């Protein structure tokens, strides 16, 4: 039996209707920006395996750090114990995060990082005996698949089976060009009408919505409105963190600091699942009390796993090298040139770039749904050509590992141009 046949026998894949979708491709190895399947067909990983892998597959530097940690201390519980790798990660993050972030809490993935932030926002007011239970979020937001994260997410595709079972979330429009005032007014309105505890947002780029982008000035204004009204702000940097937008964090573009930040994808260079939620001292202090009930009773078995911490440290070291920073600039320049080349194509609605993120919207005769027919046609075309891209409806985006070569990038661009002609 091939790996594909055995897979069909046993495995249940994420976001997959097994009756109608094709059998998953069995990948046997990866190196740099490339992947090979069990038949040795080569693929360019143009989305860094769901945005987690900036430094390439099977990265030796991170692998060595992991091996060294595994043979020193692979894991120890974080309740009542601590260890150097966790402390080093905290120290490192303090150097690079917005200055107001003072405390870090470990968990396992993007959804849990968000779950922690939302629970902290709600308990913050509970601890202060203030009744605030509403969370504000953007339309078409994506914050993960656990319950509070799902509640905050606005893409109905992911959440429709669970409507009516969520914490209370009120949605406001994203301040994309021309929508800024509508967004500001909606936020003011929501805060006036409801007892709002927190506002969660994907800063500058909404990943799962199809790399929808908006300006830092708009976010600054939204954060200001929240601050004036004592509403906690949560920057979900799970997708944007660690260089994707051209700066270390998307919030580095914004002249207003959030109360909490969620990090996960790319934290460990795509090696070990790990996440972090960071907080201001002020948020932490609302839980600091003689009363044990005011503590944050949240934790995961693998909290602050030392091996994950070692991977995160190596990963941040790599990000900070001149070579990697140059790579980010190089990819951005390539994207901008490609954008210029195709944005006036008759079949292109619009194209946009921020950092290493590029997206193009393709004209479609029918209303394109998330997993609609154009999406399937595009996806299959890319796979056949050996390029891993996962379009969102009629939006094709690239989020390459930073180490992708110019030749590989050109192949990705060329394949997208062919796809635009084909559909």
| Binding stretches for ligand PLP (CB under 6 A) | 109-111, 114, 142-144, 202, 207-208, 236, 238-239, 264-265
Q: How far is the CB of 420 from ligand PLP (least distance, A)?
A: 26
Q: How far is the CB of 211 from ligand PLP (least distance, A)?
A: 11
* Gap between the Cα atoms of 357 and 353, Å rounded: 6
Nearer to ligand PLP by C-beta: 148 or 412? 148
Nearer to ligand PLP by C-beta: 111 or 305? 111
Q: What is the token pair recorded at 305?
A: 């796993």
Q: How far is the CB of 31 from ligand PLP (least distance, A)?
A: 24
The CA R_g of the chain, rounded to the nearest whole Å, is: 21
- Ranked by CB distance to ligand PLP, the top (closest) residue is 110
How many C-beta atoms lie closer than 10 Å to residue 248's C-beta? 21
Nearer to ligand PLP by C-beta: 114 or 310? 114
Q: Find the angle CA(340)-CA(344)-CA(345) to the nearest 5 degrees.
A: 110
Q: What is the token pair recorded at 374?
A: 């154009």
Nearer to ligand PLP by C-beta: 127 or 400? 400
Q: How far is the CB of 142 from ligand PLP (least distance, A)?
A: 5
Q: How far apart are the first and last CA of the chain?
A: 35
Q: How far is the CB of 206 from ligand PLP (least distance, A)?
A: 8
Q: How far is the CB of 155 from ligand PLP (least distance, A)?
A: 11
Query: Which residues are 392's β-sheet partners?
Result: 395
CB 141 within 8 A of CB 118: no
Strand, helix or coil for residue 237: coil
Nearer to ligand PLP by C-beta: 30 or 144? 144
* Gap between the Cα atoms of 184 and 174, Å rounded: 9
* Gap between the Cα atoms of 255 and 78, Å rounded: 35
Nearer to ligand PLP by C-beta: 34 or 238? 238
Q: Tokens 């959440």 map to which residue?
A: 159
With a CB cutoff of 8 Å and minimum separation 6, the contacts of 210 are 359, 361, 392, 393, 395, 397
Nearer to ligand PLP by C-beta: 132 or 265? 265
CB 386 within 8 A of CB 393: no
Nearer to ligand PLP by C-beta: 109 or 334? 109
Q: How far is the CB of 40 from ligand PLP (least distance, A)?
A: 30
Strand, helix or coil for residue 68: helix
Q: Residue 347: phi, psi to the nearest 5?
A: -95, 0
* Gap between the Cα atoms of 170 and 137, Å rounded: 6
Q: How far is the CB of 170 from ligand PLP (least distance, A)?
A: 19
């Amino acid at each position: 039996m091939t790996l594909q046949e055995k897979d069909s026998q046993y495995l249940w894949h994420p976001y997959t209707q097994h009756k109608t979708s094709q059998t998953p491709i069995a990948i046997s190895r990866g190196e740099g920006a490339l992947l090979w399947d069990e038949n040795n067909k080569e693929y360019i990983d143009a989305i860094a395996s769901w945005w987690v892998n900036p430094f390439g597959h099977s990265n030796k530097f991170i692998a060595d750090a992991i091996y060294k940690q595994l043979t020193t201390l692979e894991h120890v519980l974080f309740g009542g114990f601590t260890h150097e790798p966790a402390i080093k990660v905290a120290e490192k993050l303090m150097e690079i995060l917005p200055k107001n972030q003072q405390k870090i809490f470990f968990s396992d993935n993007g959804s849990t990082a968000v779950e922690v932030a939302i629970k902290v926002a709600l308990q913050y007011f509970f601890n202060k005996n203030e009744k605030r239970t509403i969370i504000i979020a953007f339309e078409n937001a994506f914050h993960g698949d656990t319950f509070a994260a799902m509640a905050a997410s606005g893409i109905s595709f992911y959440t429709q089976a669970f409507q009516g079972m969520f914490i209370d979330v009120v949605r406001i429009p994203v301040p994309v060009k021309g929508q800024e005032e509508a967004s500001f007014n909606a936020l003011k309105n929501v805060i006036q009408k409801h007892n709002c505890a927190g506002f969660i947002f994907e800063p500058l780029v909404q990943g799962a919505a199809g790399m929808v982008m908006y300006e830092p000035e708009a976010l600054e204004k939204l954060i200001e409105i929240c601050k004036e009204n004592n509403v906690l702000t949560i920057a979900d940097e799970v997708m944007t963190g660690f260089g994707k937008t051209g700066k270390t964090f998307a919030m580095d573009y914004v002249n207003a600091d959030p109360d909490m930040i969620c990090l996960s994808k790319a934290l460990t260079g795509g090696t070990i699942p790990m996440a972090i939620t960071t907080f201001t001292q002020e948020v932490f202090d609302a839980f600091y009390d003689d009363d044990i009930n005011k503590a944050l009773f949240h934790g995961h078995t693998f909290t602050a796993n030392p091996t994950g911490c070692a991977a995160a440290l190596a990963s941040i070291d790599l990000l900070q090298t001149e070579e990697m920073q140059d790579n980010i600039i190089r990819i951005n320049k390539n994207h901008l040139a490609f954008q210029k080349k195709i944005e006036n194509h008759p079949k292109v609605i619009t194209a946009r770039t921020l950092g290493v993120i590029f997206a193009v919207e393709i004209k479609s005769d029918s209303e394109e749904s998330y997993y609609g027919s154009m999406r399937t046609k595009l996806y299959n075309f890319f796979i056949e050509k050996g390029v891993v891209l996962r379009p969102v409806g009629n939006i094709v985006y690239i989020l390459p590992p930073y180490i992708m070569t110019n030749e590989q990038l050109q192949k990705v661009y060329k394949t997208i141009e062919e796809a635009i002609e084909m559909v």
